[in-house]
Amino acid sequence: MNQKYPMSDTSFVKADVAASPAGNGDGGSTRHLIWLLPVHAIVWIISAWLSRGNLDTQGDMIENYVWGIEWQAGYSKHPPLFAWITAAWFRVFPHTDIAYFALSALNSMTGLLGIVALAGRFLPRRLAVIAGLAMAVSPLYSNLAIKFNANSVLLSVWPWTAYFFVRFMQTRSWRDAIALGALAAASVLGKYFSIVLLIALFVAMLARPAWRANLFDWRALLVAAAGAVVLGPHVHWLVVNHFPTFAYADERTGGTFMAAVARFGVYTLAQVGYLALSFAMTLMLVHGRRGQAARFMVESVVRPSLNPDLWWLALGPLMTVGVIAVLSRTQMASVWGMAQWFAIVPLWLAALDRAGFKLKPERAVRALAGYWAIALVIASAVGYLGALRNTDDAAEPRAELARAAHVLWNQRFGYDMPVVAGSVHEAQSIAFYGDGNTHYWDISNPRTTPWLAIEDLKQRGALFVCEEIDTRCMEESKRITGATPVRVEVNKHAWGRSLMARQYLLFVLTPR
């Protein structure tokens, strides 16, 4: 076996990487490949626009927006980071689907760059870029990442948290300590599931002798201090509001011990499926002996001694998830762990490099070009067939309903609609596809939108929108407004077709 350097000696690896000038050898010839990531992001923006008639059928993305524009330190379901990011983005960009897909793609690309940076702490530059390119083809950083929510926001935060963790372990820099603390807290502000990452990093630090000494370094206090500053406002919000997000998280627990074990087994199998394309992409870049290369890649996962540092970073989160999920009887969803694989491709690459396999990063251009062509063809087919069949994703006229609702309000009152309520997805869509001045009030559970009270609605005026089948919404809207509803019929046009029309009832609460 050709061993270039002892892979557990991270200081040696770091020095080897730093000593490689940008223009030397393979590093110079493959440096430009990093620009494949922005192209990848553009391809997925277009693919999402082609395949989806709306942002997402579950309504997560419009919910992000109506929460975020209120700039709260926390919300009824989740901590606030992804809602803040959404609100900040649409302070600048138009309220359109393609602009939202661009935010999703940018978030994914930021995470892929973090993976490249992390890989660069262990691998030569010519190999580090492969880590980002190989992970880019995984559904985790492509199709699933297009729905921006509490899960996908972690795609950008977790890799950079891990990167600064490794930098701090290797350098003990006070700047890295502060960055690590701030990003660790930001991960928690993205989703409480990030406790998995923090535990995994802590265990990795304890498991590696060279890293363990940092636990007693005074700069470790800077990590805690920076984290406390970033997380402090949300903790205060939790206390003041009696921990509402914890109650929401608790709804996902329950069941027997064996059922929890079975759910974690399904979760783990799903992760293997998510990584299959990245595994194949990495193999495609190997020059010869691919069967042996595949064996070494698998071996790197089951043999920690091949690269202990990267092994703990790659597998630590999965082990932590397993322990927490089984002990708490949590009903795991496979997408919860979509951000946890930031170190898996660097681990595979380190194993291949240690074993003397030659990789051809330049092959990524042809491989990704083929992948992009397939993705665009499939996206076009999905979008066209959805329009042909009038599926909910393709035909539900959310933007068109919003346009009709805003026109109705402006014709009556001559100014922007202040508040919208009613059937959840329809009301939130009216808020999103507007001018940025419309706020959302939850008619069924007003406690989740504490920034508005019923008296605010009566003072400022509001529009209530109901699906025809939502009888509860219609009863509550009639009771609050005392108004006769206006029936509107709207439909979407896509792929040269006029899709099925849908009817809604609009109740106007006239401002005082």
In a domain, 19, yes or no: no
Q: Which of 329, 344, 375 marks a domain boundary?
A: 375
pLDDT confidence of residue 255: 72
Higher-pLDDT residue of 329, 16? 329
Query: How distant is the alpha carbon of residue 101 from its chain centre?
Result: 12
Q: Which of 309, 304, 313, 321 is nearest to 270 (CA)?
A: 321
370 and 406 assigned to the same domain: no
174 and 302 assigned to the same domain: yes
Provide mean pLDDT across the span 310-327: 94
Beta strands in 98-167 (DSSP E): none
Compute the distance between CA of residue 116 and CA of residue 128 in angstroms, rounded to an integer: 5
Q: Which of 149, 98, 57, 90 is nearest to 398 (CA)?
A: 57
Provide mean pLDDT across the span 143-151: 95
- Measured N-to-C along each axis, helices 308-328 and 344-354 cross at an angle, to the nearest 10 degrees, of 150
228 and 325 assigned to the same domain: yes
β partners of residue 439: 419
The confidence band for 257, taking pLDDT boundaries of 50, 70 and 90, is confident
Compute the distance between CA of residue 509 and CA of residue 480 in angstroms, rounded to an integer: 8
Provide mean pLDDT across the span 87-103: 97
The predicted-structure confidence for 453-468, as pLDDT tens digits, reads as follows 999 999 999 999 999 9
Range of the domain at 421: 396-509
321 and 181 assigned to the same domain: yes
Give me the sign of the Cα torsion angle 219, 224, 228, 230.
Answer: positive
Token readout for 83 is 């809602």
Provide mean pLDDT across the span 209-213: 91
Residue type, 415: Y
- Record the pTM: 0.91
Residue 268 has pLDDT above 90, yes or no: yes
306 and 407 assigned to the same domain: no
Percent of the chain having pLDDT more than 70? 93
pLDDT confidence of residue 350: 95
Token readout for 232 is 């402090």
247 and 367 assigned to the same domain: yes
In a domain, 432, yes or no: yes
The confidence band for 328, taking pLDDT boundaries of 50, 70 and 90, is confident
In a domain, 12, yes or no: no
**14-23, 85-94, 298-307: range with lowest mean pLDDT:** 14-23
Q: What residue has token string 């206006």?
A: 486
The predicted-structure confidence for 372-426, as pLDDT tens digits, reads as follows 999 999 999 999 999 999 988 899 999 999 999 999 999 999 999 999 999 999 9
In a domain, 385, yes or no: no
Token readout for 384 is 């066209």
Compute the distance between CA of residue 488 and CA of residue 503 in angstroms, rounded to an integer: 6
Provide mean pLDDT across the span 181-186: 98
In a domain, 281, yes or no: yes
423 and 323 assigned to the same domain: no
Task: Supply the mean pLDDT for the chain.
Answer: 91
The confidence band for 30, taking pLDDT boundaries of 50, 70 and 90, is low
pLDDT confidence of residue 57: 87
Q: Which of 375, 407, 435 marks a domain boundary?
A: 375
Q: Which of 342, 375, 408 marks a domain boundary?
A: 375
332 and 450 assigned to the same domain: no
pLDDT confidence of residue 332: 79
159 and 284 assigned to the same domain: yes
Q: Looking at the 3D structure of the chain, how many domains does it have?
A: 2
Q: Which of 343, 11, 316, 347 is nearest to 162 (CA)?
A: 343
167 and 266 assigned to the same domain: yes
Query: How distant is the alpha carbon of residue 398 from its chain centre?
Result: 23
In a domain, 9, yes or no: no
Residue 489 has pLDDT above 90, yes or no: yes
How deeply is 431 buried, as exposed, middle or buried, from its count of CB atoms within 10 A (0-12, 13-18, 19+)?
Answer: buried
168 and 279 assigned to the same domain: yes
226 and 325 assigned to the same domain: yes
Residue 20 has pLDDT above 90, yes or no: no
In a domain, 359, yes or no: yes
In a domain, 173, yes or no: yes
